Amino acid sequence: MELKRVVVTGLGAITPLGDSVEEYWDNLMKGTSGAGIITRFDTTNFKTKFACEVKDFDPTKYIDRKEVRRLDLYAQFALASTDVALEDSGLDLEAIDLERFGVIWGSGIGGSETFLHEVIGYTENNKVPRFSPFFIPKMIADIASGHISMRHGLQGPNFTTVSACASSSNAIIDAFNYIRLGQATGFVTGGSEAAINEVGIGGFNAMKAISTRNDDFATASRPFDVTRDGFVMGEGSGALILEELEHAKARGAKIYAEVVGAGMSADAHHLTAPHPEGRGAAAVMRNALKDAGMVPEEVDYINVHGTSTPLGDISETNAIKIIFGEHAYKLNISSTKSMHGHLLGAAGAVESIAAIGAINRNMVPPTINFKEKDDRIDYDLNFTFNKAQERNVDVVLSNTFGFGGHNASVIYKAYTE
């Protein structure tokens, strides 16, 4: 069976660096930090008082005011970004087979803010169960894909992937596979997350997973720096329109990039820590290259998971050296989380958009906030520290890894006939 080719024909982004793809790309290339003091709740009693919030988001630009009240913020982000991506794609939804166009979305947590507020209301009302009838539909992680489907009449496969911080990469991979196997023509895919709230910050504080650098929050996300002390929470959404190549060509679509390969693996090691030798990370990159029919020397840039955690950055660096050998010293590496923070289940989607931006602009976004070396990291690798670098970018590999040992890698390539 000959596999179909799959291309990216539309993009939408709601991020801490801007609510349009162009603004997001521009700020990435400028090395802009999206971190700021948390405005969503009183952080007086919290160890971490900052995050990468989406600024000035107005859901009523995209969604009816009455409907907004029925949606958790993570679903509002999802609908906003997918509206933009579909418009960007130029798809005429009245002219396509809607039964062959689906939605596969990713979210690691879903409606945590809704859950929090409903439980607070329950306790404040002396445990009288006066829950909103929208409580469950607002909270569940799969509801964003349902809303996207209903909003646009998309009747193809519809579900949500949940694999912690690898969730939206897994969504993209599933959409890619459905299309290339001929089981669908196209998908709205990507992911969204909105966990900058008391339970999100408090929970990750309890795990000692997020930075507490309140006195220097703008530089707190500092992957590969010896002083890194955890990731910085982000939020937002990234949406991609994936389409079978011949379908896209027949309607004269613009093509941002081609999806050429994907891999998945498991660390099978620890609840939250990566394998110290990077075995799972190495396996997922090896699997992606094999799936794409590529050799390591064809990759120009790796958008790494690079969370700014003490163990994760070392493990991923080790894995890159294992898989790429001598070529590891010739490609660019960067962590855009240094700028937009860690969007948890939405990370793979917004970082895929960053990867596609690198291809379209022949520019590698930087890893900002680097100052001091860590003796456990090989700095002969090109981490693209502090400043974007021009280079020919034809192939990008995007890594996302999640708690529980979930690993996903997607390979994007400049489109050619």
Burial bucket for residue 122 (CB in 10 Å: 0-12, 13-18, 19+): middle
Query: How far apart, in whole angstroms, are the C-alpha atoms of residue 146 and residue 151?
Result: 9
Query: How far apart, in whole angstroms, are the C-alpha atoms of residue 288 and residue 306?
Result: 18
Q: Which member of 165, 247, 275, 340 is catalytic?
A: 165
DSSP H or E segment with residue 261 = strand 257-266
Q: Which member of 147, 152, 275, 342 is catalytic?
A: 342
Query: How far apart, in whole angstroms, are the C-alpha atoms of residue 33 and residue 27?
Result: 8
Q: Which member of 152, 247, 275, 305 is catalytic?
A: 305
Residue 104 Ramachandran class (φ > 0 left, ψ -120 to 50 alpha, else beta)? beta
Find out whether 62 and 81 touch, Cβ atoms under 8 Å.
Answer: no
The closest of 85, 33, 79, 108 to 346, measured between CA atoms, is 108
Phi and psi angles of residue 397, each rounded to the nearest 5 degrees, phi first: -110, 130
Phi and psi angles of residue 200, each rounded to the nearest 5 degrees, phi first: -65, -55
Tokens 């009288």 appear where? 128
> Is residue 305 flagged as an active site residue?
yes
The closest of 172, 239, 75, 233 to 408, measured between CA atoms, is 172
> Is residue 342 flagged as an active site residue?
yes
Q: In the numeric block, which tokens belong to residue 161?
A: 């992937």
> Is residue 275 flagged as an active site residue?
no
Active site residues: 165, 305, 342
